[in-house]
Structure 1
Amino acid sequence: MMETIAVGARRPALKLDDARSPALVFESFDLPATNQRVLGPPHPANTVTPLALRPSTHESVPLDLDTIVQTIKSLQEQDSILTKKLALHGALLFRGLPIHNADDFSNFAHSFGYKPHEIIGIVVDRPLLAPNVVPANEAPKSVLIYNHNESPQVPHAPEYIFFYGHKVPKKGGETPISSSLELFHRAQREIPGFIAELTEKGILSKVVYKVEKQYEGGSTLRQAFGKEIQEGDDEATRRSKIEAQISRYGRGKFTTWEWTDDGITLTQRLPAVRTQPETNLPTLFTGLAAYYKNARVNASSGRKNVTEQLYGDGTPIPEKYLEHLANITDEIRVLHKWQEGDVLVYDNIIAQHGRQPWEGEQSDRVVLASVFDGAKVPGAYGYGEWAQVVQALDG
């Protein structure tokens, strides 16, 4: 693999090519300021998010998906170059790819070489459309989904998230991008007492799963934990199989549950501050700002939050801190304006995403998602047995 520098409009353009077969290169390009920004500390100076890349061919080579996939595989085999770019920038945008459907998207996402993530404890409805490809959150178009790391309410979260814009609305529907590293850095400086308490106590996540879905786009208890359930199983067998799936988190006393007449309430003590592998930089891996913002913006729609987050000792987190996190996030995020065919890739450890409302029909926005595990789980920050998070046990 070679990295060469060419002169760009505003900053040097990065070119990624496979030295063994340089028929295709990925060239970086600048986006409007509304779509791209220079990250603040602790990121290195002049690091942008997202890093925007587009393919370019020469020697009369056609731009087909097979060539794209083989180039991605080759780049990853040579020092995991794209994984390292993700760990630096937090998000990559690929534009101009020959991707037209769920199967094309699946082939592209799998070319990075990551292990598909097994979703346990899902809170949204995501039917399988192609290998490891599902719809992104399909909540009504009026619902705001504010910036968050994927699956912060469960221990077993993916490390990489791929989004593909199959159909995009004319107005709205942007996907936010913000840095969890920058959020922690700012919060530690501006509200140090809160960060110290959050590090010491963690959060207590309470998620209610019901037999019937609680809102449009939400999941059922069976979708969350019932993959082993068979038709004809009696109630005791169903509960046993659900509890076996929950136990795969491997967290012992830090994961408890209570059965109710119409479902189950799952309670977990989790770290909200974790560390990025390799750099060991602390990242605010959480949905705290989203919990605060969504509750206020979406209240008029009748949508209820199914996740309650407290300090790990069960005491409430003061609202002023949640508001402060949301205010920081507003300052450091960009809203990605989709073009049809765009693919956004997130390092879920250090980058947060979400979804803006849009005008028009619900069907005007079709974004697909694919999630994967990385080589390492983001480590604990601070101390305490409860802060240790591992990937789910086989089962």
Structure 2
Amino acid sequence: MATSIQSIRADTLAVDSPAASSVVFEPFNLPPSNQRQLGAPHPPGTAIPLALRPSRHSIENINLDDVITTVKELQSQDKLLTKQLALHGTLLFRGLPIRSADDFSRFAHAFGFKPHEIIGIVVDRPVLAPNVAPANKAPPDVLIHSHNESPQVPHAPEYIFFYGHKAPSKGGETPMSSSLELFRRVQDEIPEFVTTLTEKGILSRITYKKEVQYSGGSTLKEAFGKKIVDGDDLATRRSKIEAQIARYGRGTHTTWEWLDNDEGIVVTHRLPAIRTQPGTKLPTLFTGLASLYTRKNTTEQLYGDGTPIPEEYLKRLVAITEEIRVLHRWEQGDVLVYDNIISQHGRQPWEGEQTDRVVMASLFDGDEVPGAYGGADWAQVVQALDD
């Protein structure tokens, strides 16, 4: 079993047999506030993010079709971009001719990943283009702390794309950090926390209601009601919602309880917080505990046996996360790509109006769901069943 990450040379990223229209991506450095060298277990000198832009030669008369063709060809070379993601956790693409939701959708789909279907969505994400939605519609003053995407449910995406369509003049940065490095730091500093998480896992309890519970949140129908139609009676609506929950494929490890007066439902999952990176089998702290601790919402997370997680552990988890993260300062047209298994993201507040910051998201599945750490049957995480 491999226990280390292999370094991949990334002086430039170019196709083996370039055509005249091929785009060459070259790495470039960002300010220290936007880029840092990752700690163990990453190889020395590994940066987050790996920042890429078209070379001076290829930027002349660059068009999106050429960019998309090049991305597809790079992926055909033994999934070169996917491997860079597995090494760095996050890629930044800058200087590309991406100017709309449709442009962004075409670029993201070029990587060859399967679009992710969100089951049990907790935020409002209206569709803007194929597999593209607003990243988050919470008000500008709301801090969304670093987290892996969808750690509160059994069905999480493996890859996340963000496109900066409009950047605010102050604030609104997107954090990035390594879940592999986070695990190593937490294991070194509060090993008893890691031991308990490994043994017990997480009990994730999510409340869904008929009405929106907070600004930017979703409704019960948006979360599980895709099959509901006008005229369905109460029993039919509940049956259709329960059928969607059953698609998680978790058996007794996902349960639910209806609230009184048809107000909503509480869905409970028992899940691993410590998972593994495919290939290396390195443990990654796949979690949203820091985000939930700093911003209370509709999700409650406890140890897997239902006991509370000590506040001292959560405070230290927040502090470590802030120590190892960098904040991406958006430029219009930037695209960030995250390997969700090993890289966390979030959102800083900004000054101004809601419309001053427009970031879109596109979520995809890969070959494997973030896997379990340990042999307990409750720790197995699976893709949702086809509908």
TM-score w.r.t. the length of structure 1 is 0.93
Query: Is 2:157 aligned against 1:158?
Result: yes
Letter in 1 for 2:236: T
Please list, as runs of the form range in 1=range in 2, the aligned pairs for 1:115-154 lying within 5 A after superposition.
115-154=114-153
1:41 aligns to what SS in structure 2? coil
Look up the match of 1:54: 53
Query: Is 2:288 aligned against 1:287?
Result: yes
Cα distance in 2 for partners of 1:247, 1:274 equals 23
Cα distance in 2 for partners of 1:55, 1:238 equals 51
Query: Per the alignment, do residues 342 and 259 of structure 1 end up closer, same or farther by CA in structure 2, a change over 3 Å counting?
Result: same
Please list, as runs of the form range in 1=range in 2, the aligned pairs for 1:148-297 lying within 5 A after superposition.
148-260=147-259, 261=261, 262-295=263-296
Letter in 1 for 2:143: L
2:240 aligns to what SS in structure 1? helix
| Cα shift at 1:378 | 1.8
2:223 aligns to what SS in structure 1? helix
Cα distance in 2 for partners of 1:246, 1:229 equals 14
Cα distance in 1 for partners of 2:305, 2:367 equals 31
Letter in 2 for 1:201: K
Look up the match of 2:317: 325
2:55 aligns to what SS in structure 1? strand
Letter in 1 for 2:241: I
1:363 aligns to what SS in structure 2? helix
Look up the match of 2:371: 379
Determine if contact 1:199/1:381 at 8 Å carries over to the other structure. Answer: yes
Per-residue CA deviations over 1:106-155 (Å, capped at 9, x if unaligned) read 00000000000000010000000000000011100000000000000000
Query: Per the alignment, do residues 71 and 59 of structure 1 end up closer, same or farther by CA in structure 2, a change over 3 Å counting?
Result: closer
Per-residue CA deviations over 1:61-101 (Å, capped at 9, x if unaligned) read 62000000000000001110000000000000000010000
Look up the match of 2:6: none
Letter in 2 for 1:49: I
Aligned residues: 375
| Cα shift at 1:60 | 8.8
Look up the match of 1:7: none
Per-residue CA deviations over 1:223-257 (Å, capped at 9, x if unaligned) read 00111111111111110000000000111111000
Query: Per the alignment, do residues 60 and 384 of structure 1 end up closer, same or farther by CA in structure 2, a change over 3 Å counting?
Result: closer
| Cα shift at 1:55 | 1.1
Match of 2:383 among 380, 385, 391: 391
Look up the match of 1:8: none
| Cα shift at 1:289 | 1.1
Match of 2:13 among 5, 13, 16: 16
| Cα shift at 1:294 | 2.2
Determine if contact 1:57/1:63 at 8 Å carries over to the other structure. Answer: no
Letter in 2 for 1:326: V
Cα distance in 2 for partners of 1:248, 1:293 equals 30
Cα distance in 1 for partners of 2:181, 2:136 equals 25
Cα distance in 1 for partners of 2:221, 2:31 equals 43
Query: Is 2:88 aligned against 1:83?
Result: no
Per-residue CA deviations over 1:283-330 (Å, capped at 9, x if unaligned) read 0000011111224xxxxxxxxx11100000000000000111111011
2:154 aligns to what SS in structure 1? coil
Cα distance in 1 for partners of 2:154, 2:61 equals 44
1:14 aligns to what SS in structure 2? coil
Cα distance in 1 for partners of 2:17, 2:170 equals 43
Cα distance in 1 for partners of 2:370, 2:269 equals 17
Give 5+ residue unaligned stretches, structure 1.
Answer: 1-11, 296-304
Letter in 2 for 1:310: L
Determine if contact 2:177/2:321 at 8 Å carries over to the other structure. Answer: yes
CA RMSD of aligned residues (A): 1.2
Letter in 2 for 1:292: Y
Determine if contact 1:200/1:383 at 8 Å carries over to the other structure. Answer: no
| Cα shift at 1:59 | 7.5
Query: Per the alignment, do residues 61 and 142 of structure 1 end up closer, same or farther by CA in structure 2, a change over 3 Å counting?
Result: closer
| Cα shift at 1:58 | 3.3
2:199 aligns to what SS in structure 1? helix
Cα distance in 2 for partners of 1:162, 1:53 equals 15
Q: Which runs of 4+ in 1 moved over 4 A?
A: none
Determine if contact 2:204/2:270 at 8 Å carries over to the other structure. Answer: yes
Determine if contact 1:207/1:267 at 8 Å carries over to the other structure. Answer: yes
Cα distance in 2 for partners of 1:152, 1:200 equals 17
Cα distance in 2 for partners of 1:181, 1:195 equals 13
What percentage of aligned pairs have identical amino acids?
71
2:369 aligns to what SS in structure 1? coil
Cα distance in 2 for partners of 1:171, 1:43 equals 32
Per-residue CA deviations over 1:24-69 (Å, capped at 9, x if unaligned) read 2000000000000000000011000000000126379620000000
1:383 aligns to what SS in structure 2? coil
Cα distance in 1 for partners of 2:359, 2:258 equals 35
Look up the match of 1:4: none
Determine if contact 1:24/1:57 at 8 Å carries over to the other structure. Answer: no
Letter in 1 for 2:273: A
Determine if contact 1:116/1:373 at 8 Å carries over to the other structure. Answer: yes
